[in-house]
């Protein structure tokens, strides 16, 4: 994968280049990032030149608070959480539990994301940080087409190094002061540990046979799964 440094877009990268057997994921087809609420002229120019569709995974309150700053590119809004970020922090849910909830409770929404990617247009998937909802969605898309498991996990884990350290310290301090008994809150807000994604994918394999089988069971049409492979794999 390639980390892209474009002012106004955080945690931006192209997942092209990840191995898939003897082939690889196409470059310029699937991008991932944090939110697009603060895009200036340089970011707008990049997006217009490289992206044909945006998938925004945030809920309505997040979109209202920080509207997407993209102009002239179709946006598909797929709120991936069945609940709010605040409720997960207050409930002290772990990253493992959060991702399991996405897979179990949000499977219909996951399928909608796969449908957009399968159309084959250069697509950018984002949430607020590009860590959890984006991380799970992109990992599932890559796993469904047979991408190398270690590379998928590496891409997910890369996010932690892309979040500003000053931001993480401020968030950790805020959470320690207001939610001192929430053991999982800081990890939920700042971390993307490789073992968490590895466990999620292994659990899907165990329960459903494979990520592709999970998506088919969730309602993704076989023809759309085939189209996903054609869109992503060289």
Positive or negative torsion for Cα 133, 65, 86, 181: positive
Whether 127 is a known active-site residue: answer yes
Residue of 25, 70, 80, 127 marked active site = 127
Which tokens hold the place of 49?
């030149």
Tell me the C-alpha distance between 232 and 229, whole Å.
Answer: 5
Give yes or no for a contact between 49 and 124, defined as CB atoms under 8 angstroms apart.
no
DSSP for 123-158, written as a single string: EEEE-SSSSSHHHHHHHHHHHHTT--HHHHHHHHHH
> Distance of alpha carbon 199 from its chain centroid, rounded?
16
CA angle 108, 112, 114 (to 5 degrees): 115
Give yes or no for a contact between 40 and 8, defined as CB atoms under 8 angstroms apart.
yes
Indicate the SS3 state at residue 57: coil
End-to-end CA distance of the chain: 14
Q: Which are the catalytic amino acids? A: 127
């Amino acid at each position: 994968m390639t980390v892209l440094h474009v002012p106004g877009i955080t945690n931006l990268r192209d997942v092209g280049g990840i191995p898939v057997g003897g082939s690889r994921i196409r470059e310029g087809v699937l991008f991932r990032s944090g939110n697009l609420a603060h895009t200036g002229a340089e970011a707008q120019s990049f997006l217009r030149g490289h992206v044909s569709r945006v998938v925004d995974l945030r809920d309505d309150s997040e979109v209202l608070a920080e509207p997407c700053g993209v102009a002239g590119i179709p946006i598909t809004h797929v709120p991936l959480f069945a609940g709010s970020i605040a409720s997960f922090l207050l409930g002290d849910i772990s990253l493992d539990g959060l991702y399991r909830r996405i897979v179990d409770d949000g499977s219909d929404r996951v399928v909608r994301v796969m449908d957009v990617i399968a159309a084959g247009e250069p697509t950018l998937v984002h949430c607020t940080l590009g860590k959890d909802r984006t991380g799970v969605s992109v990992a599932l898309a890559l796993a469904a087409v047979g991408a190398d498991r270690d590379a998928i996990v590496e891409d997910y884990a890369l996010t932690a190094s892309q979040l500003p350290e000053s931001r993480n310290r401020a968030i950790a301090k805020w959470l320690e002061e207001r939610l001192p008994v929430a053991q999982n809150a800081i990890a939920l807000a700042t971390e993307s540990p490789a073992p968490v994604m590895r466990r999620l994918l292994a659990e899907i394999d165990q329960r459903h046979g494979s990520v592709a089988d999970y998506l088919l069971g969730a309602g993704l049409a076989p023809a759309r799964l085939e189209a996903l492979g054609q869109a992503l794999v060289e």
